[in-house]
Chain A
Amino acid sequence: MKLLASPAVRVGLSISIATGLYGISFGALSVTSGLSFWQTMALSLLLFSGGSQFAFIGVVAGGGSGIAAMGAATLLGMRNGIYGMQLNALLHPTGWRRYVAAQFTIDESTATSTGQSDPAEQKRGFWAAGIGIYVLWNLFTAVGALAGSGLGDPKQWGLDGAAVAAFLALLWPRLKGREPVAIAVVCALATVFAVPFVPAGVPILVAAVVAAVAGWFSHGRRDEGLEPDVDPYSEHHHRRQDSQQAGA
């Protein structure tokens, strides 16, 4: 019960439920994209990064090759390396904990941890969100995959529309300010222009190059685009104060 008194643990658990639940949509969309149940589970258990997982199945669903799917998923995973640097400087995990912490390093666990000011709370927040999301995300992926495989024609259920909505929902929280919106529009246009000329899946990689060049030469915020899909502190701003008091 002492653990539940920690504000970071409470934020971590509520973000686990919110994020874990949408594993249902990933599981259902993955099997209707043509992946098997175990391929779907392998993505959630081993890859474990929502955006990259959706990217992988999104490219496959659009008729893209396995290598293009891997490319899109890998480029989207770069930001987890940045999170790893931040968390390493914050939490200083040692020995085997480093390797375990790495697997739990995603948008939401990073945001939960960095939203706290007391070092002990930062640590608790990271592990609570990381482990909580990992368990629930995989559980709900399995539920969605089992439900999705019984659906029959995915178009009849509008699941292609669900995929579009899911990607927009992943993008939306990152569109804070004029520059992110401009980058999104330019990349969307570059994609549409590339579609007729290159194999399926490749237009997404074209957009990645355009975005990388834009990022290299821009002078925007350094954490642009590094917002979590679900902000752990959106409705919990008072909890930051809680943790500061707990740390004092």
Chain B
Amino acid sequence: MNLWIWLLLACALAYAWKVVGYFVPAKFLENPRISRVAGTMTIGLLASLTIVNAVATGQALAADARLGALAAAAVALALRAPFLLVVMIGACTAALLRMIGLA
């Protein structure tokens, strides 16, 4: 139940960002710092989420099958594979590494 509250708040705040964009004066657009922070934060958050999901379990760090999935996904992306294929390659790699007992 607790999660519902944060989830709905996240939805409300996401809509707030979107709608605010339509109501701020156009001169804000001319400040490159604001849009650059939005962009670099997107990069930083996605990089952080990638590595957290690859090596962290709670507060512990571990090298396991997920690192294999990360490497395989990077290769697939370098070869310009589409999003869904990259995700499937990540899943298959982790599952396979576990099945053969490597990680």
Contact = CB atoms under 8 A, between A and B. Distances in A.
Name the residue among A63, A76, A156, A215 with the largest chain B CB count within 10 angstroms: A215
B10 A56 contact: yes
Nearest to A24: B84
B21 A210 contact: no
13 contacts: A51-B42, A73-B14, A76-B41, A76-B42, A79-B42, A87-B21, A103-B15, A158-B92, A168-B74, A188-B48, A220-B36, A220-B40, A225-B42
Contact of A70 (B10, B42, B60): B10
Contacts, number: 355
- In order of increasing CB-CB distance, the 4 nearest A-B pairs are A84-B21, A165-B90, A211-B44, A161-B94
Contacts of B8: 42, 46
A196 B58 CA distance: 8
B46 A226 contact: no
A69 B6 contact: yes
B56 A77 contact: no
* Interface bracket on A: 35 or more
Contacts of A165: 69-70, 72-73, 76, 86-87, 89-91
B102 interface: no
A207 B47 contact: yes
Interface string B1-37: 0111111111101110111111110101100111111
A226 B35 contact: yes
